[in-house]
Chains A and B, each alone.
Chain A
């Protein structure tokens, strides 16, 4: 692991704080980190979005939701139920990741670390398998919410699309 990759993972707590602020302010709900995420939850389908931060540190932030969790959270966010396989759901999941990444960028900036954001990319899949390259450091964090578990992942020093494959 390079020094910069180690630094990127150390900023994982900023991502956790950004996720807490997102759900606290926009959903009036508490979410808690709760250990390892079980990939078995993804076999019911999943929605995930990634935003990259590039600059003094480089990292990608993934935000992912099992199908039922995604449907419940997006219903609250959008104000109406939306189908899983829809532009509306993809839009909402992408916006959530965008807000988390934007807040993380601000928190990094407060520590003197300047970055730029990519636009969010979104994956909606009926089944999802996540493969991590062994030589690329990453940190996956499970969150518990009243709508179900979800996960965030910080991947150090890689560009979007280099570490993930989604299979339907």
Chain B
């Protein structure tokens, strides 16, 4: 059974690229849903089937930080949150770590292999 995955980015191109990279990888199969920002993500988040969220950090309407907080409040089963951002400075990483709730941090630009390597450890045991 595929892992329910929610891909959140205000760039449709980035969403497509993330999905394509994940499909190309040797990771378990995903059942993808897409969201264009944090508020859209909350509407599409299904606590019964979403097991991993790939979220951009800088988004309109609801930031990645606020999205993580809300997802953690709504989750029923543990979900893996992968934060994808252009912000690679130590300040940004500290902000994300201080906020808590993010298990994987991926910096743009990244390759398909970079993404798979970053995500693989966090997905162990997620595939049914």
Contact = CB atoms under 8 A, between A and B. Distances in A.
A78 B86 contact: no
Interface in B2-47: 11-14, 16-17, 20
A60 interface: no
Interface residues of B, number: 20
Interface residues of A, number: 26
Interface stretch (A37-45, A88-96, A125-133): A88-96
Given A79-B20, A91-B12, A101 B111 contact: no
Chain B residues touching A, majority SS: mixed
Given A25-B110, A26-B111, A91-B13, A103 B20 contact: no
Contacts of A91: 11-13
B88 interface: yes
Interface string B105-117: 0011111001000
Interface of B: 11-14, 16-17, 20, 85-91, 107-111, 114
Interface of A: 21-22, 25-26, 28, 74, 77-80, 87-88, 91-92, 94-95, 98-99, 101-103, 105-106, 109, 114, 117
30 contacts: A21-B109, A22-B109, A25-B109, A25-B110, A26-B109, A26-B111, A74-B13, A77-B13, A78-B12, A78-B13, A78-B17, A79-B16, A79-B17, A79-B20, A80-B16, A88-B13, A91-B13, A92-B11, A92-B13, A95-B13, A98-B11, A98-B86, A102-B85, A102-B86, A103-B88, A103-B109, A105-B86, A106-B88, A106-B89, A109-B91
